[in-house]
Amino acid sequence: MNKQTKPRARDLGLPFTGRTGPLNAITDVEGIAVGFQTIREETPRPGRKLPVRTGVTAILPHSDSEIPVPVYAGVHRFNGNGEMTGTHWIEDGGTFLGPVMITNTHGVGITHHATIRWMLERYASTYDIGDFLWLMPVIAETYDGVLSDINGMPVTEADARAALENLSRGPVSEGNCGGGTGMITYGFKGGTGTSSRILTYAGKDYTVGTLVQANHGQRDWLTVCGVPVGKHLQDNTPQSQLKERGSIIVVIATDLPLAPHQLKRLARRAAIGIGRNGTPGGNNSGDIFLAFSTANPQPMAHRAPEMLSLEILNDLHLDAAYMAAVDSVEEAVVNAMLAAEDSGGTPHDRFRIDALPHDALLSVLRHHGLLGV
C-alpha cells in the first residue's frame, strides 16, 4: 500500500468521538484485508485527450482462509444513481461470497470478470466440476470522469487482479489511491478514506470498520465536525463551483454477530454519517452502502448441514453499533479529503482539483471555537 504522508483528522486534533481501533481503519476488523491498484498517467494515451487517474480497491473478508467463506450482509440504497453488483442476492439471501471491489463507473464489467477469474483460481479446489456453483462478487463504482479518461476504459483485468494481489491487513492508504484516485469530494480532491470504532458487549470488544470511496457533494455543503466549512472556503475557482455530480460507496465491516436484517439497518445508518458532512444525497449521486459481519462463519450452503446455529446481538442493544457506524463514516470521509493530493491542472485537463487545505480548515474550526487557539 502507499505510504500515508499527510496527517489524518485525529492527527490534526479534530474532535471526532468514539474509541478507534489501533489502525483507525477497516482492517481493525480481524481478517479484513484491503488492496489497491492505482493508475496515474498525466499524459493522455495515444489517440485520447485526457490523462488517466483511476484504479481499483479490493476488500476481502476472511482473507486468511484457503476456502471461500460466505458473510452475512445487508445493503441500503440512499440514492440510486450508481451501481453495486450482487445486491439483489444480498437482499434475498442475506450473504455474499468473495471480495468487495470498488472502481470507476465504466470499470465495473471488467472488474467483475477479473474477480470471478481470481476466485476460480484462488479457490480451485473448491470449485470442482461436480459443484455447479456460480459466483456473484460485489463490485461498486463512482464516477471519475472529471479527472480521468473514463471513456477510454483504462481499467483492465490485470489492474483488478493487481488490487487483489496487493491485499494487506495493515494500515490502509487514503486519498488518491485505488478506485479513489480520480474522485472529488465537496469540490476538493477526495477518494479513499477509512476509520473504525471499538464497542464492548458482554465484556468483549468488537470492531466496526468503515471504508469509503468518496466522490460526492459540492463546496457550499461541506460540514466538518458540525462547522459549515464549505461556506467559508468559497472562492472563484471552477472547482468550487462544481455542482453535485458524483457518488459515494460506503463499506461497513464488523465482527459483531449480526443477522442480515440487522446489517441492513446498520448499512442504512451510513446515510446519517455522510449527512453529517453536509450532503443531502443529491440527485446525481449514487449513495450505496454495504454492511457485513465476519462473525458466524459458515460453510458454503451446499456443504452446510440442514440446520445452522447462529449467535446474534439482541436488537435492543444495536444503538451503540449504529452510532459507531455513523461516527466512523463521518470520519472516514474527512480522512479521505485530508489525505488527498491536488490533481489535474495540466494542459490536457478541464479542471484542477485542489486538496482541502489543512491550514484553512483548522482556521475555520478555530474561528468557530472548535479547536484551541
Catalytic residue list contains 285: yes
Q: Using an 8 Å Cβ cutoff, are 358 and 338 in contact?
A: yes
Q: Where are the alpha helices (H) located in the chain, listed in sequence order?
A: 87-93, 108-122, 157-165, 229-232, 260-268, 270-276, 319-339, 358-367
Catalytic annotation, pick one of 195, 247, 328, 343: 247
The 3-state DSSP class for residue 194 equals strand
Cell numbers that stand for 33 in this block: 484485508
Catalytic annotation, pick one of 144, 149, 287, 327: 287
Which residues are within 8 A (CB) of 5 and not within 5 positions of it... i.e. 6 or more apart?
Answer: none
| Amino acid making up residue 177 | C
Strands (E) located in the chain = 33-41, 52-60, 71-80, 95-96, 100-104, 138-142, 184-185, 188-189, 191-201, 204-215, 247-254, 286-293, 343-344, 352-353
CA distance 247 to 216: 5
Catalytic annotation, pick one of 285, 293, 328, 343: 285
Catalytic residue list contains 287: yes
**CA triple 14-15-18, angle to 5 deg:** 125
Catalytic residues: 247, 285, 287
